Amino acid sequence: MAQAQPSVISELERATHGDADECADALQRVTDLFLSGADRFSEDQVRLFEDVLGFLIERIDTRARAELSTRLALVERAPIRVIRRLAIDDELIVAEPVLTNSPRLSAEELMQIARAKSQGHLLAISGRRQLDQSVTDILLDRGNREVIYKLAQNAGARFSESGHTTLVVKAQSDDQLAVAVGLRLDVPQHLFERLLLQASKTVRSRLLSQAPPETRREIERVLAFVSREIGWEVTAPRDFARAQAIVREKHRQGELDEAALAEFARTHKYEELVAALALLSMAPLEVIDALMGSPRNDGLLVPCRVAALGWSTVDAILSNRGAHHALTPHDRKKLSEDYKRLSRETARQVLGFWQARAAEPRQRH
């Protein structure tokens, strides 16, 4: 290195008064010199290269910066300030090599970049061989579909519980993403069950054909659970007139109780169930119908609490809403806990708000 240090300085001196092309030529020669002995240089020598390269970066064009990024991206001892400067470059062709490959970028630095830069920068980060969950949380929050799909395919990406949940929720309306998430080996059991419960037949078929044997057995187990738990579909148009007449007569005779509601649920009498819950909670039928068809499970807790139903009846209602609402054991436990915490007064206030909101379009007309 005794001869290399003066060579670096002389290159810097020549480039100081040169144009962009001369700076690019100097950058290439300095980079060659650095790469020829990067694993042997002392920290002081690396800092010298860092100062020189940092000076030259600001005086070269995009093409030259992109070439430097590519050459330094995989270098274990690449000058850290140079790598950071390349990583935040607005030109993706410059930033991408180091964002995807450089071992010199910390999780904290990747988080900062992920919070501020473009979708292209986020996509580059998503392809890193290892990703901490603190980084993937931000990428899932800010990233577009392409970013999220790439993350789901990245076996080296680690996700928090919230991150796994986000993947599963987004997969509900995206078959390609559902397959990618379903093939991961780190998805928590309750979320894996939810993924399969909400998956289309096409997704389930693709997962079974692509999954390794141990995952295939788990998929088959959950699908068996689905076939047992799924009730009837609630998406078809409904005629509630007859059901309302039946429910009113039962109510008049004093027979409209929890046992009747649970029986409506278990025997898949959707219209009667909606009409009965609407009557007992004193809510408009269309509000209850909307809650039954909602992708959320917790909304139905509100009219059930207003009607003072016991959990076993609520469970029967929730468990028989249809294929896209089937509950995993984890779902059922959480909903039970939420129902215990929900007071009847709070439920009345929330239901009143929903009724008022549902009535607004009619009032305007």
The tens digit of pLDDT for each residue in 316-353 reads 998 777 545 566 667 788 899 999 999 999 999 999 88
User: Is there a contact between 276 and 260 (Cβ–Cβ < 8 Å)?
Assistant: yes
Listed in sequence order, the residues at least 6 apart from 96 whose beta carbon sits closer than 8 Å to its beta carbon are 69, 120, 121, 124
* Lowest model confidence (mean pLDDT) among 3-17, 44-58, 86-100: 3-17
Q: Which of 220, 227, 146 is nearest to 182 (CA)?
A: 220
Instruction: State residue 303's pLDDT score.
Output: 95
Listed in sequence order, the residues at least 6 apart from 350 whose beta carbon sits closer than 8 Å to its beta carbon are 302
Instruction: State residue 226's pLDDT score.
Output: 61
Whether residue 135 lies inside any domain: the answer is no
pLDDT of 237 > 60? The answer is no
- Final residue in a domain of this structure, among 65, 89, 105: 105
> What is the arithmetic mean of pLDDT over 64-78?
94
Tell me the three state secondary structure of residue 256: coil
> What is the arithmetic mean of pLDDT over 223-231?
59
Q: Which of 265, 243, 350 is nearest to 301 (CA)?
A: 350
- Residues spanned by the domain of 85: 1-105
| DSSP code for 132 | -
How many Cβ atoms sit within 10 Å of the Cβ of residue 43?
Answer: 8
| DSSP code for 315 | H
The size of the chain, in residues, is 365
pLDDT of 355 > 50? The answer is yes
- Final residue in a domain of this structure, among 79, 105, 131: 105
CA angle 276, 279, 235 (to 5 degrees): 50
Instruction: State residue 233's pLDDT score.
Output: 44
Whether residue 172 lies inside any domain: the answer is no
The token duo for 69 is 């990024």
How many domains does the chain divide into? 2
User: Is there a contact between 105 and 98 (Cβ–Cβ < 8 Å)?
Assistant: yes
- First vs last C-alpha separation in the chain: 85
- Final residue in a domain of this structure, among 47, 75, 105: 105
Whether residue 156 lies inside any domain: the answer is no
Q: How confident is the model at residue 267 (pLDDT cuts 50, 70, 90)?
A: confident
User: Is there a contact between 339 and 311 (Cβ–Cβ < 8 Å)?
Assistant: yes
> What is the arithmetic mean of pLDDT over 170-189?
92
Burial of 365 (0-12, 13-18, 19+ CB in 10 A): exposed
Helix and strand element counts for the chain (H, E): 23, 0
> What is the arithmetic mean of pLDDT over 127-133?
97
The token duo for 232 is 């009837």
User: Which residues face 157 on adjacent strands?
Assistant: 131
Q: How confident is the model at residue 98 (pLDDT cuts 50, 70, 90)?
A: very high
Instruction: State residue 47's pLDDT score.
Output: 84
> What is the arithmetic mean of pLDDT over 134-148?
97
> What is the arithmetic mean of pLDDT over 79-91?
96
Whether residue 187 lies inside any domain: the answer is no
Whether residue 76 lies inside any domain: the answer is yes
Report the distance separating Cα 97 and Cα 232, nearest Å: 51
pLDDT > 70 in the chain, percent: 86
Instruction: State residue 15's pLDDT score.
Output: 52
Whether residue 212 lies inside any domain: the answer is no
CA angle 198, 200, 205 (to 5 degrees): 120
User: Which residues face 131 on adjacent strands?
Assistant: 157
pLDDT, one tens digit per residue, over 182-207 is: 999 999 888 888 888 888 888 988 99
* Lowest model confidence (mean pLDDT) among 59-63, 84-88, 233-237, 315-319: 233-237
The token duo for 265 is 């649920």
Q: Is the pTM of this model over 0.75?
A: no
pLDDT > 90 in the chain, percent: 53
Listed in sequence order, the residues at least 6 apart from 314 whose beta carbon sits closer than 8 Å to its beta carbon are 300, 301, 304, 335, 339
162 to 115, 133, 154, 217: CA distances (angstroms): 18, 10, 17, 26
| DSSP code for 311 | H
Whether residue 292 lies inside any domain: the answer is yes
CA angle 338, 340, 341 (to 5 degrees): 65
Whether residue 69 lies inside any domain: the answer is yes
pLDDT of 141 > 90? The answer is yes
* Lowest model confidence (mean pLDDT) among 27-31, 95-99, 206-210, 250-254: 27-31
